[in-house]
Amino acid sequence: MEEIKVNIFNLVGNGDCTLPEDGDKIFDILKKTLNDDKKVIISFKNINSITSAFLNSAVGKLYGEFEESKIKESLKIEDMLIEDKIILKRVISGAKLYFEDPERMINSIKKILGEEDE
Amino acid sequence: MSTEYTLSNIHNDFDGYNKLINFYDKYQNDDLETVDLSLNTWFDANLSAVLGGILDQLNKSNRIGFVGISPSIQKILQKNGFLIHFGFDRTNDTYHTTIKYLKLKPTDSRFFNNYVQTDLFNRAELPQMSEAVKKKISESILEMFVNAQIHSETEFIYTCGQFFPQRDEIIFTIVDTGIGFAKRIEINLNQIVSSTQAIKWAITEGHTTKQGTPGGIGLAILKDFIVQNNGKIQIISGDAMYQLENGTETYSEFNNYFNGTIINMIFKTNDTTLYCLAEEIDNSELF
């Protein structure tokens, strides 16, 4: 399988990965490469700031488009700080849950409403 | 004919927010009321962000001007640039402890990012702090700004802060005058909840009103960091207030309603925690 490298710094234009709209740009590229059955190395070299909002847009949304196994075999992370990887791991865990059960948000609100009624 | 209103002794606590919200409530439905506003005794400078948001809302249909501000309050609110929005001169911040008041459009997020990365954290007078803490604080601030940008439908986002070198603290406040947590849940998820229920729901990891995009991690990450950092968060939305301090979460309710959300973050700068001690996460665990 062909492998390409996605350089986040270059695509965002600086080391600041905080805005969801920048995450959307990365998502579009990753989606296309996965659809083309290519492997992707996502390089976070020289990235100094990351928010969960960016990662949800860039990576989290992929779980709504592809099987987990496909994502796992296709994507690889490179040069990401360990503290940023911890955020990415939380984003990915959340994304899996989010797409697994479309009713989860509504049910979680009903649960809070129910707890207050008791 | 004008009326007089005084905001006195406004701190970063329930009583301070309550006074600000009562002021907002008193005039929010009035038309063409002329109000002479006084500030006395104490006004925590970072709360300029809250007062700025309130005055903009009230001034859509009223005329509110400052008539009496005690000299010490006027001095600091001129230093942080708040009062220049109301015709006062800016004065020099000799001790460099102010964090300037900003009134930004939600689309100004790139400017805000640049401001946080360069202006805020590249100041020589900043209290000593590790690079890890600096990164966590700046990302927390950016995450909350992005939240306001995405969810609130606000016309402006108001931010302000203050350094307290003696207390090893930075306070940073982000305010929007948008629809608040409860209304967002009602619009996006069609569920009627109280302001307290809305905050409880929103601060739980993975809970998001976004459609088609997962989310709900930002506030959870901020909470975890604040606990480790021994700091404090206050969230005010609608008529509810949430506070996390010393690992304890409390909820309180105001008599009146604030149309919008206030996020107040108090960070300890003398935090020596290494935030990257976790073991390496390999690819197979990540995805």
A67 pLDDT band (50/70/90 cuts)? very high
- Nearest-angstrom CA–CA distance, B24 and B5: 11
B18 pLDDT band (50/70/90 cuts)? very high
The mean pLDDT of B220-234, rounded to a whole number, is: 93
pLDDT digits (tens, 9 = 90+) for B131-145: 888 888 899 999 999
The mean pLDDT of B196-201, rounded to a whole number, is: 96
pLDDT at B45: 96
The mean pLDDT of B212-228, rounded to a whole number, is: 92
Q: Domain for residue B193, yes or no? A: yes
Alpha carbon of B14: minimum distance to chain A alpha carbons (Å) = 23
Lowest mean pLDDT among B12-26, B39-53, B125-139, B142-156: B125-139
Q: Domain for residue B278, yes or no? A: no
Number of domains present in the structure of chain B = 1
Percent of chain A at pLDDT exceeding 70: 97
Q: Is the pLDDT of residue B277 over 70?
A: no
pLDDT digits (tens, 9 = 90+) for B44-72: 999 999 999 999 999 998 899 999 999 99
Do B147 and A116 lie within an 8 Å CB cutoff? no
B199 pLDDT band (50/70/90 cuts)? very high
B95 pLDDT band (50/70/90 cuts)? confident
pTM reported for the whole predicted model: 0.94
Alpha carbon of B251: minimum distance to chain A alpha carbons (Å) = 13
Q: Domain for residue B280, yes or no? A: no
Residue-averaged pLDDT of chain A: 93
3 state DSSP class of A51: coil
pLDDT at B83: 96
DSSP one-letter string for chain B? -EEEEEEEEE-SSHHHHHHHHHHHHHHTT-SS-EEEEEEEEEE-GGGHHHHHHHHHHHTTTSEEEEEEE-HHHHHHHHHTTSGGGGTPPP---TT--EEEEEEE-GGGHHHHHHIIIIIITS-TTSPP--HHHHHHHHHHHHHHHHHHHHHS--S-EEEEEEEEGGGTEEEEEEEE-S-HHHHHHHHHH-----HHHHHHHHTSTT----SSS----HHHHHHHHHHHHT-EEEEEEEEEEEEEETTEEEEEEEEEEEEEEEEEEEEETT----TT-SPP--HHHH-
Percent of chain A at pLDDT exceeding 90: 79
Q: Is the pLDDT of residue A118 over 70?
A: no
The dihedral built from the CA positions of residue B224, B197, B43 and B63, taken in this order, carries a sign that is: positive
Residue B186 lies in domain: 2-271
pLDDT at B284: 75
Q: Hey, which residues 253-282 in chain B have their CB within 8 Å of chain A? A: 275-276, 278, 280-281
Q: Domain for residue B129, yes or no? A: yes
B189 touches chain A (CB under 8 A): yes
CATH number of the domain that residue B243 is part of: 3.30.565.10
Burial letters B33-49, b for 16+ CB under 10 A, else e: bebebebeeebbbbbbb
Q: Which of A71, A89, A106 minimises the CB distance to B191? A: A106
pLDDT at B30: 83
B165 pLDDT band (50/70/90 cuts)? confident
**B98-104 and B169-176 as β-strands: parallel, antiparallel, unpaired?**
unpaired
Do A82 and B142 lie within an 8 Å CB cutoff? no
H helix runs in chain A, sequence order: 8-12, 20-35, 52-58, 68-74, 82-100, 104-117
Q: Is the pLDDT of residue A95 over 70?
A: yes
Residue-averaged pLDDT of chain B: 92
The mean pLDDT of A91-107, rounded to a whole number, is: 92
Q: Which residues of A touch B205 (CB under 8 A)?
A: 90, 94
Task: Look up the ipTM and state it.
Answer: 0.89
A77 pLDDT band (50/70/90 cuts)? very high
Q: Domain for residue B276, yes or no? A: no
